[in-house]
Structure 1
Amino acid sequence: MSAMRVIVKIVFIFTALAYFIPHAHADSEDQKAFTLAKQNACLGCHALDRKIVGPSFQSVAQKYKSNPNAQAFLKNKIAKGGAGSWGVVPMPANSKLNEADLSLLVSWILRGTPSQN
């Protein structure tokens, strides 16, 4: 096998790994976030793509997509609850969620809640 063919194969392998490893990690993180949302009753009031009691997660992502403070704001909103951002129905506090769980959920929501298979 020529040196050029070996180099091409190596480049192909590294390119494939560079694509699949982060995507596999993202899918795993997305699944963890979805499970966390289910375990904490988030899906009782929020659907991924339609309004229930509260807005859909995709609507939240759309509303805050260009807000540089969205991560901190939404983490605080989930942890402490409140009303006024989407109407008068209050969102209950989820104070038992730790910082890592809040970050995972908010990141997933802001990405539009991908990978729910």
Structure 2
Amino acid sequence: MATSLLAAALASCMAQADGSTEDEAMIDLAWDSGCFNCHDLDKSLRGPAWRDVAERYRDDDEALERLVVTVRDGGSGNWGEERMTPNRRVAEEDIKRLVSWLLSLPPAEEES
């Protein structure tokens, strides 16, 4: 119950920030895929905050392909010692959509 309330609140805030239903759909997909077990939009949990990922790779034209592989196969060493577990149960197209979306996130201070 708390998770679904948090998801609804987060999706609502994201949709209100820019009026985008795509943000809401991506938040829902991330919850359904288990991403929020280790990640958050704005703060580090077991894994890095997604806005930090977006900031690090913002000007890297090859980041999408590399990050899709990391999400699918797992990895470590890019954000400390914590290992990212493989996510092979998530469809590759969904991983690509999520990674593409998170790479487009603006820094927190740019949101109103």
Bucket of the pairwise TM-score, normalised by the shorter protein: 0.7 to 0.9
Code of the aligned partner of 1:64: Y
Identity of aligned residues (%): 34
TM-score (normalised: structure 2): 0.72
Aligned to 1:37: 30
Query: What stretches of structure 1 move > 4 A for 4+ residues in a row?
Result: none
Root mean square deviation of aligned Cα: 1.9
Report 1 or 2 for greater relative contact order, CA contacts < 8 Å, sequence distance ≥ 6.
1
Alignment: residue pair count? 90
Map residues 38-77 of structure 1 onto 2, 5 A cutoff.
38-77=31-70
Task: Decide whether the 8 Å contact of 1:29 with 1:104 is kept in 2.
Answer: no
Aligned to 1:16: none
Q: Which has the larger radius of gyration?
A: 1
Gaps of 5+ in 1: 1-22
SS in 1 for 2:56: helix
CA distance in 2, matches of 1:84, 1:57: 16
For the pair 1:80 / 2:84, whether they are aligned, the reply is no
TM-score (normalised: structure 1): 0.70
Gaps of 5+ in 2: 1-17, 108-112
For the pair 1:101 / 2:94, whether they are aligned, the reply is yes
